[in-house]
Amino acid sequence: MPGRGPDRSGELRYRSSVPLAARHPFHALRHRNFRLFFIGQFVSLVGTWMQVVAQGWLVLELSNSPFLVGLVTSLESLPILLFTLYGGVLADKVDKRRAISFLQTGMLLESLALTLLTATGHITVAWVMVLAPVLGVFSAFEVPIRQAFMMEMVGREDLINAIALNSSVFNLTRIVGPVVAGGLIAGLGTTACFAANTVSFLAVIIAFGRMRPPFPGARERKSDLRPTFRDGVQYALGRAEPRALLGLAAALSIFGLGPVLAMLPVYARQVLNLGAGGYGGLMSAVGVGAALGAIAMASFGHRVDRKRLITTATLLFAAVLALSATHHSYPMALVGLAVTGFGSVLAAISTNTLLQTEAPDQLRGRVMGFYSFVVLGLAPFGSLQAGWISEHFGVPVSFVVGAVVCSLVALGLAWNRNRSVRPGPRTHGSGTAHGSSASTEPEARR
């Protein structure tokens, strides 16, 4: 990537430190534990997306109320907003592999309850509203623990590739799951989707049960200090770099791809005059673009300056989103949404990786708790603001507002970073642009 001399030399030093075996797009899969995780995640996420589709359809069938469909989604998201930060504290205290297995078992039982209630004809909207926050509670603790466990499975040098591969699985299953769910609902009903999701959890639980040492990224020695929420706050919000990265992640959560997806049905119907098939095409375009972005990061993520990439990818996302708002052509919308998915995923993977690699080992779980909080916990506010703007001013205006906000935050991040390095080189500066732990050494010695 072209740049100034110091950045280029740092890049060369970084690339020379990466083993040859770690320079192909799937090098994180050389770790047996990550291979097990990768396979289990794929199967489980297909089931998860099937349940998402089937649950929304079931509530609509039972109530014929779009409001209740949205309410159930909000009830599932609320525990993530309330408990994810504590889940990050817990991630620094517990055996992550066992904790994830336990939480996945809880999710399996929630899905099993939904399956049995639907199969026996006892399901009601009230039951769905009770079970949705139960799943949300398990997710609130599982997500930050799983994010922090990525480092343990693959180590620092393979982390960005592992995150990218995991993101590619997420986005591919976002395409596969709804397609399979649609066929099952049409042929067998929603019960089949819930049952398939229940069985899919076994893939993750079995995968984690078969994992064995070594865990290359695990801490050699546990800290004698008891993890506290206050320490996580002091690091994540008290230091300029993680605070800026979390700020950008929050902006993308509230004004980025999530609100765009929430308003996509309205955009398809009111702006492009499309039916359900056209809406499905738009959703698929986003998924394809996001999957390609994840694969691209898996291929070249270890070769680029991720701090610059975050700004560039966010600006790409924002510019194409604003252009999409001004065009009423279906082919143009497909291309534009694919590019927005591509740019959004590049920014998200780079942000996640930088937060993990620059955080001290003993604080990584809490940092991932903050990251999960802003990405998942704040997402409902994004749908709320996009819905309000779309109702009063139209969907294109909501797209433009989101593009402008994300652009300003990304430019502010770049400006602050340039200002912080302008006085002169720091003793540890060359490595931090590529995920070195050098910038966290003073914090690690505390």
Topology (CATH level 3) of domain 23-157+172-212: Growth Hormone; Chain: A; (1.20.1250)
Contact 299, 25 (CB under 8 A): yes
228 SS3 class: coil
Structure confidence by residue, pLDDT tens digits, 31-85: 999 999 999 999 999 999 889 888 888 887 888 876 777 778 778 888 988 898 8
DSSP state of 109: H
User: What is the percent of the chain with per-residue pLDDT over 90, rounded to a whole number?
Assistant: 33
Assign 226 to helix, strand or coil. coil
Both tokens assigned to 165: 């591969």
Q: Give this prediction's pTM.
A: 0.75
**At residue 438, does pLDDT exceed 50?**
no
Q: At 111, which amino acid appears? A: S
**Mean pLDDT along residues 339-345:** 93
Backbone angles phi, psi at 284, to 5 degrees: -65, -35
Q: Look at residue 5 and tell me whether its pLDDT is greater than 50.
A: no
What is residue 2's predicted lDDT score, i.e. its pLDDT?
Answer: 40
Is the bond into 214 cis (omega within 30 degrees of 0)? yes
pLDDT at 118: 95
Q: Is residue 112 scored above 80 in pLDDT?
A: yes
Check whether 190 has a pLDDT greater than 80: yes
10 Å Cβ neighbour count for 220? 5
Among the CATH numbers 3.50.50.60, 3.40.50.300, 1.20.120.1810, 1.20.1250.20, which is that of 228-423+431-437? 1.20.1250.20
The per-residue pLDDT for range 129-168, each reduced to its tens digit, is: 999 999 999 999 999 999 889 888 988 888 888 888 888 8
Is the pLDDT at 116 greater than 50? The verdict is yes
Domain with CATH 1.20.1250.20 in the chain: 23-157+172-212, 228-423+431-437
**Dist CA 382 CA 402 (whole Å):** 9
Mean pLDDT of the chain: 82
